[in-house]
């Protein structure tokens, strides 16, 4: 009864306030009236459901789903973070969090979480945790079936906990005391000098303060005598706009416009120029990009392209031309809201997804190339908006074989690396490490013992074709051809493991190297056979061609 009277009182107050707002706005701004009207309707729906719906509502869950659906109808970057999720937002903005510094994953077959990759010089690695360790208990609490162990591992910096793990090759569980630290994700996981005096810097994020680390890495490479530089922005999802401007300033003169933002309100519209003297305006640059290069990464790559300062190599970038800022909300919540679009020096916006014009089913698609607009670089080269940054040199990407996907998905490569480490206390440096034929023979034997099964897409397609031929009445006449094709496409594990040995060996080597040399070792292994990097080095090695690519087109002279 008390609950009923309380809800009636709240409803009465809400209706009174709504009535005042209703008539106040009705006589003035119709748009404000529409906002107030619909807020009142939403409040009324929640109250009616809370009172009359057959089951008891969880207000946090029900209203949160309504909020999320409302925000997603705008764009996928405007998001609500309640107080309990603010840590996730802070990690996104700062690139750091309180924890142990390790990638973990839940394994359904084991019903436990496993250490997948500890970060170098972080608490997990320093106490001796290794990839493959199975997490059993935290402070005595059983973790069996717990799919969200990450929340238990994270916490206030300086706090500690006891962790019990099961390690392959060890008879008894191991226990570790781990002290949480502020975990800064590697901003530059690797940089070094390649053959031919070419420098290489892998920049993983624009969160935190990567410009400082980038500057130090570049100056160190200059001391080593590099004569050109490759900046790797592949799979860099962005971060802070100001950091992209700062790094662009290292290679562009002072006073250059890097990016402008345009929003509905004055505060959302800004211009960002280079403010300092550059480090080097002459060194030849190549920037590696792919479909995972987004946001602040596209600002840096796009600005260097628009000023004809670097050759962009790889594949078209993601196309995120929207800017978000955090806005405080009641009860400790925060909303990350899209406030503006950004435009790089040529005047183009790289936004690729058209969220304003949704399909009837609510889905969205990329802006078609036919609707994009031509802009020009400082030297007069044509570039387009509406679809990310298109590279100057496009590189065809090798498709991973189907069998490799299943080997990774079934953890066979991961488990083999774990067993390999039990037998080898050390390995050669990543630049020289190789998976031998004997190692690969051991791996194939392990795969066979695991009774490994995988789908062959060719068999699936052939089966569908056969069913369609039968439906259309062609099967009888083509039965011999189908039989012959079925025999040629029969499932043959030995054949596939040998045919795709190069790709599988590379993946095994990368997993093994990371166990000894962490993320930087994995990158070195990846760069050994990297089509994008090879093309970038080729371009930088031919200075005449490099200058021609960045020069004024013949038609524009």
37 is catalytic: no
Instruction: Output the six-digit token pair for 201.
Output: 């810097």
Of the listed 164, 256, 320, 444, which one is catalytic? 320
User: Are residue 109 and residue 238 in the same domain, yes or no?
Assistant: no
Q: What is the DSSP letter of 147?
A: S
User: Are residue 247 and residue 384 in the same domain, yes or no?
Assistant: yes
Q: Does position 216 have pLDDT exceeding 60, yes or no?
A: yes
Of the listed 204, 295, 297, 340, which one is catalytic? 295
> Residue 486 — very low, low, confident or very high, per pLDDT cuts 50/70/90?
low
Query: Crossing angle of helices 412-423/402-409, nearest 10°?
Result: 60
**Mean pLDDT to the nearest integer, 171-188:** 92
295 is catalytic: yes
Q: Does position 172 have pLDDT exceeding 50, yes or no?
A: yes
Q: State which of 162, 184, 206 marks the end of a domain.
A: 184
Q: Does position 456 have pLDDT exceeding 80, yes or no?
A: no
Q: Does position 1 have pLDDT exceeding 50, yes or no?
A: no
Give φ, ψ of 58 to 5 degrees.
Answer: -95, 100
Closest CA to 522 of 535, 533, 531, 513: 513
User: Are residue 267 and residue 386 in the same domain, yes or no?
Assistant: yes
Per-residue pLDDT of 502-527, as tens digits, reads 999 999 999 999 999 999 999 999 99
- The answer to the question of residue 73 being in a domain is no
User: Are residue 269 and residue 381 in the same domain, yes or no?
Assistant: yes
User: Are residue 139 and residue 231 in the same domain, yes or no?
Assistant: no
Instruction: Output the six-digit token pair for 368.
Output: 């078609």
Q: Note the pLDDT of residue 490.
A: 62
Instruction: Output the six-digit token pair for 156.
Output: 């206030």
- The answer to the question of residue 382 being in a domain is yes
- The answer to the question of residue 481 being in a domain is no
User: Are residue 298 and residue 373 in the same domain, yes or no?
Assistant: yes
Q: Does position 554 have pLDDT exceeding 60, yes or no?
A: no
Residue-wise DSSP of 184-240? E--SS-EEEEEGGGEEEEE---BSSSHHHHHHHHHHHHHHTT-SEEEEE-TT---B-
User: Are residue 152 and residue 262 in the same domain, yes or no?
Assistant: no
Per-residue pLDDT of 340-392, as tens digits, reads 999 999 999 999 877 766 666 666 666 777 678 899 999 999 999 878 999 99
Percent of the chain scored above 70 by pLDDT? 89
Which pTM value belongs to this model?
A: 0.84
> Residue 13 — very low, low, confident or very high, per pLDDT cuts 50/70/90?
very low
Q: Does position 68 have pLDDT exceeding 80, yes or no?
A: yes
User: In terms of C-beta density within 10 A (0-12 exposed, 13-18 middle, 19 or more buried), how is residue 175 classed?
Assistant: exposed
> Residue 84 — very low, low, confident or very high, per pLDDT cuts 50/70/90?
confident
Q: Note the pLDDT of residue 556.
A: 46
Q: Where are the alpha helices (DSSP H) in 287-388?
A: 296-306
> Residue 16 — very low, low, confident or very high, per pLDDT cuts 50/70/90?
very low
- The answer to the question of residue 486 being in a domain is no
Closest CA to 311 of 290, 286, 280, 289: 286
Alpha carbons within 13 A on the beta-carbon side of 228: 24
Query: Crossing angle of helices 2-26/30-52, nearest 10°?
Result: 170
Our CA angle for 514, 519, 520, nearest 5°, is 105
User: Are residue 373 and residue 276 in the same domain, yes or no?
Assistant: yes
User: Are residue 172 and residue 293 in the same domain, yes or no?
Assistant: no
* Cβ atoms of 40 and 14 closer than 8 Å: yes
Q: Note the pLDDT of residue 364.
A: 67
> Residue 186 — very low, low, confident or very high, per pLDDT cuts 50/70/90?
confident
Spatial separation of the C-alpha atoms in residues 383 and 376, rounded to whole Å: 6
Q: State which of 394, 413, 432 marks the end of a domain.
A: 394
* Cβ atoms of 127 and 148 closer than 8 Å: no
Residue 506, CA distances (Å) to 61, 242, 433 in order: 45, 37, 11
2 is catalytic: no
Q: Does position 9 have pLDDT exceeding 50, yes or no?
A: no
Q: Does position 457 have pLDDT exceeding 90, yes or no?
A: no
User: Are residue 364 and residue 418 in the same domain, yes or no?
Assistant: no
Give the domain range for residue 173.
96-184
Q: Note the pLDDT of residue 5.
A: 41
User: Are residue 412 and residue 386 in the same domain, yes or no?
Assistant: no
Q: State which of 128, 153, 184 marks the end of a domain.
A: 184
**What's the mean per-residue pLDDT of the chain?**
89
Of the ranges 31-35, 155-159, 473-477, which one carries the lowest mean pLDDT score?
473-477
- The answer to the question of residue 335 being in a domain is no
Q: Note the pLDDT of residue 454.
A: 79
Q: Note the pLDDT of residue 40.
A: 94
- The answer to the question of residue 160 being in a domain is yes
Q: Does position 192 have pLDDT exceeding 80, yes or no?
A: yes
For 365, left (φ over 0), alpha (ψ -120 to 50), or beta?
beta
User: Are residue 221 and residue 306 in the same domain, yes or no?
Assistant: yes
What CATH number has the domain bearing residue 224?
3.90.226.10
Per-residue pLDDT of 304-338, as tens digits, reads 999 999 999 999 999 999 999 999 999 999 999 99
Of the listed 133, 306, 308, 392, which one is catalytic? 306
Percent of the chain scored above 90 by pLDDT? 70
- The answer to the question of residue 239 being in a domain is yes
The tally of domains found in the chain comes to 4
- The answer to the question of residue 482 being in a domain is no
Q: Note the pLDDT of residue 418.
A: 96
């Amino acid at each position: 009864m008390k609950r009923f009277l309380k809800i009636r009182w709240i409803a009465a107050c809400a209706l009174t306030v709504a009535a005042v707002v209703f008539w106040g706005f009705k006589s003035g701004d119709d748009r404000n009236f529409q906002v107030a009207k619909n807020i009142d309707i939403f409040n009324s729906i929640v109250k009616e459901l809370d009172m009359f719906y057959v089951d008891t509502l969880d207000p946090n869950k029900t209203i949160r789903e309504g909020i999320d659906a409302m925000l997603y109808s705008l764009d996928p970057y405007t998001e609500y973070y309640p107080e309990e999720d603010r840590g996730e937002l802070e990690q996104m903005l700062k690139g750091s969090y309180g924890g142990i510094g390790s990638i973990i994953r839940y394994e359904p077959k084991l019903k436990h979480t496993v250490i997948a990759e500890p970060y170098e010089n972080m608490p997990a690695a320093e106490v001796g945790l290794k990839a493959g360790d199975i997490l059993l208990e935290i402070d005595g609490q059983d973790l069996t079936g717990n799919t969200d162990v990450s929340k238990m591992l994270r916490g206030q910096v300086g706090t500690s906990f006891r962790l019990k793990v099961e390690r392959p090759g060890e008879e008894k569980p191991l226990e570790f005391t781990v002290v949480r630290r502020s975990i800064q994700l590697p901003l530059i996981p690797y940089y070094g000098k390649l053959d031919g005096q070419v420098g290489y810097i892998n920049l993983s994020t624009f969160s935190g303060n990567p410009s400082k680390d980038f500057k130090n890495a570049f100056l160190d490479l200059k001391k080593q005598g590099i004569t050109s530089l490759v900046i790797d922005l592949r799979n860099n999802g962005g971060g802070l706009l100001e950091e992209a401007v700062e790094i662009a300033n290292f290679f562009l003169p002072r006073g250059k416009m890097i990016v402008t933002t345009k929003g509905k309100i004055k505060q959302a519209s800004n211009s960002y120029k280079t403010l300092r003297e550059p480090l080097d305006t002459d060194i030849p640059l190549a920037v590696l990009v792919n479909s995972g290069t987004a946001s602040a990464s596209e600002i840096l790559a796009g600005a260097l392209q628009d000023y004809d300062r670097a050759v962009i190599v790889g594949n078209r970038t993601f196309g995120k031309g929207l800017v978000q800022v955090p806005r405080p909300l009641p009860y400790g919540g925060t909303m990350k809201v899209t406030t503006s679009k950004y435009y790089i020096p040529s005047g183009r916006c790289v936004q690729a997804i058209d969220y304003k014009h949704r399909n009837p089913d609510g889905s969205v698609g990329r802006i078609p190339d036919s609707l994009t607009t031509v802009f020009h670089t400082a030297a007069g080269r044509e570039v387009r908006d509406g679809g990310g940054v298109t590279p100057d040199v496009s590189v065809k990407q090798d498709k991973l074989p189907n069998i490799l996907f299943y080997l990774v998905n079934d953890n066979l490569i991961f488990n083999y690396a774990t067993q390999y480490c039990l037998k080898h206390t050390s390995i050669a440096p990543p630049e020289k490490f190789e998976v031998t034929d004997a190692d690969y023979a051991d791996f194939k034997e392990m795969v066979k013992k695991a009774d490994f099964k995988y789908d062959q897409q060719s068999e699936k397609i052939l089966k569908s074709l056969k069913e369609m031929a039968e439906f259309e009445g062609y099967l009888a006449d083509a039965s011999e051809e189908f039989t012959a094709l079925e025999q040629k496409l029969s499932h043959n594990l030995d054949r596939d493991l040998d045919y795709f040995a190069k790709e599988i060996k590379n993946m095994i080597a990368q997993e093994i190297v990371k166990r000894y040399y962490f993320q930087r070792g994995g990158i070195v292994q990846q760069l050994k056979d990297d089509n994008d990097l090879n093309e970038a080095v080729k371009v930088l090695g031919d200075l005449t061609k490099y200058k021609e690519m960045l020069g004024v087109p013949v038609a524009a002279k």
